[in-house]
Amino acid sequence: ATSTAEAAAEFDFKGYMLGKAAAVNRALDLAVPLAYPERIHEAMRYSLLVGGKRVRPVLCIAACELVGGDEDQAMPSACAVEMIHTMSLIHDDLPCMDNDDFRRGQPACHRAYGEPVAVLAGDALLALAFSHLADPANYPPARPIPPYLLVRAVGELARCIGSEGLVAGQVVDLDSTGVTESIGLDLLEFIHIHKTAILLEASVVIGAIIGGGLDREVERLRQYARCIGLLFQVVDDILDLTKSSSELGKTAGKDLASDKTTYPKLLGLEKSRELAGDLLRDAKLHLQGFDSRKAAPLLHLANYIAYRQK
Ligand code: GRG
Choosing from 120, 160, 196, 243 the residue with most ligand 1 atoms within 8 A of its CB, the one to mutate for a pocket test is 196
Please report the ipTM that was assigned to this predicted complex. 0.96
| pLDDT for the residue numbered 309 | 84
Q: Which residues line ligand 1 (CB under 6 A)?
A: 51-53, 55, 85, 88-89, 91-92, 97, 104, 126, 161, 166-167, 170, 195-196
Residue 130 has pLDDT above 80, yes or no: yes
| pLDDT for the residue numbered 147 | 95
Amino acid at the residue 21: A
Choosing from 50, 92, 93 the residue with most ligand 1 atoms within 8 A of its CB, the one to mutate for a pocket test is 92
Q: Which residue owns the Cα nearest ligand 1 atom 27?
A: 52
* pLDDT, tens digit, 9 for 90 and up, residues 71-120: 999 999 999 999 999 999 999 999 999 999 999 999 999 999 999 999 99
Confidence grade of residue 253 (pLDDT, cut at 50, 70, 90): very low
- Cα 298 vs. chain centroid, distance in angstroms? 14
Confidence grade of residue 243 (pLDDT, cut at 50, 70, 90): confident
Amino acid at the residue 283: A
Q: Is residue 21 a contact partner of residue 74, using CB atoms and an 8 Å limit?
A: no
Confidence grade of residue 8 (pLDDT, cut at 50, 70, 90): low
Question: What's the 47 CA to ligand 1 centre distance in angstroms?
Answer: 12
* pLDDT, tens digit, 9 for 90 and up, residues 279-304: 999 999 999 999 999 999 999 999 99
Question: What's the 310 CA to ligand 1 centre distance in angstroms?
Answer: 15
Collapsing DSSP states into helix, strand and coil, what is residue 21? helix
- Cα 303 vs. chain centroid, distance in angstroms? 15
- Measured from the CA of 103, which atom of ligand 1 is nearest? 27
Q: Is residue 81 a contact partner of residue 133, using CB atoms and an 8 Å limit?
A: no
CA-to-CA dists, residue 14 to 17, 151, 168, 207, 212, angstroms: 5, 33, 34, 21, 27
Closest to 284 measured CA to CA, from 244, 233, 236, 225: 225
Percent of the chain with pLDDT over 90: 83
- Measured from the CA of 53, which atom of ligand 1 is nearest? 28
Percent of the chain with pLDDT over 70: 92
* pLDDT, tens digit, 9 for 90 and up, residues 137-196: 999 888 899 999 999 999 999 999 999 999 999 999 999 887 767 789 999 999 999 999
Residue 215 has pLDDT above 60, yes or no: yes
Q: Is residue 52 a contact partner of residue 21, using CB atoms and an 8 Å limit?
A: no
Rounded CA-CA distance 133/150 in Å is 8
Question: What's the 68 CA to ligand 1 centre distance in angstroms?
Answer: 29
Rounded CA-CA distance 98/182 in Å is 18
Q: Which of 260 and 216 is assigned the larger pLDDT?
A: 216
Rounded CA-CA distance 61/49 in Å is 18
Give Rg (Cα) of the chain: 19
Mean residue pLDDT across the chain: 92
Beta strands (DSSP E) in 80-225 are 102-103, 106-107
Domains of the chain and CATH, by start? 4-307 (1.10.600.10)
Q: Which residue owns the Cα nearest ligand 1 atom 18?
A: 196
Rounded CA-CA distance 263/118 in Å is 31
CA dihedral (309, 296, 25, 126) positive or negative: negative
Beta strands (DSSP E) in 35-143 are 102-103, 106-107
The single-letter DSSP state of residue 239 is H
Lowest average pLDDT, out of 6-10, 52-56, 63-67, 272-276, goes to 6-10
Question: What's the 51 CA to ligand 1 centre distance in angstroms?
Answer: 14
Residue 219 has pLDDT above 70, yes or no: yes
The single-letter DSSP state of residue 118 is H
| pLDDT for the residue numbered 254 | 43
- Supply the pTM of this predicted model: 0.93
Closest to 200 measured CA to CA, from 156, 155, 239: 156
Beta strands (DSSP E) in 54-93 are none
Question: What's the 88 CA to ligand 1 centre distance in angstroms?
Answer: 5
Question: What's the 97 CA to ligand 1 centre distance in angstroms?
Answer: 12
CA-to-CA dists, residue 306 to 4, 94, 122, angstroms: 18, 29, 29
Choosing from 48, 54, 85, 94 the residue with most ligand 1 atoms within 8 A of its CB, the one to mutate for a pocket test is 85
